[in-house]
Amino acid sequence: MAGGNSTVDKRKSKRKLVGQVGELAHGESKKFTLRCGGIGVEAFLISYEGSLHAYLNRCRHIALSLDWLDNQFFSDDVYQDDSVVAFKDIKPRAPVHILIIPRKHIPTLLDLEPADGPLIGAIFFAAAKLAQEHGIAENGYRIVVNCGADAGQSVFHLHYHLLGGRHMGWPPG
């Protein structure tokens, strides 16, 4: 068919290459803006084990400005080491609300491997240290991780919420 489908041709002509395999080193990320219904939405690419993974920032409490390799993952870091970085949530649900994120890209809890055991230990070590530093360790605190869309996970890079400074009800949710 000569000329093809004009709607498809128009859509293809508006596409913009945002990354390709080999462009980013392992663990490196790149932020870009995606237009959705005329609105700019933050998105990012992460290179992991030879392939690129793209994610939209649909989680309003995580403001993305990724720079993994230069230890500048977020502008409001409150803790970082070789394994994790932590920063204050910009829409806190408690007087203390800190996000703890592994530097290694892991989409969900279901993607953990036995070799990730030390990394999970580092996350909980960071949580305990932050709870002490922010004065919530003695009265108690909560660590929350969402796994999957039904649980509320909207950014598919594993992250833990450290919450404290007020009484927490049970059950959560």
Q: List helix spans (H) across the chain.
A: 6-14, 117-133
Q: In terms of residues, how long is the chain?
A: 173
The answer to whether the CB of 30 falls within 8 A of the CB of 44 is yes
Backbone angles phi, psi at 32, to 5 degrees: -150, 165
Q: Tokens 């596409």 label which residue?
A: 15
Residue of 97, 159, 161, 167 with catalytic role: 159
Residue 151 DSSP one-character state: G
To the query of whether residue 157 is one of the catalytic residues in this protein, the response is: no
* Residues forming the active site: 159
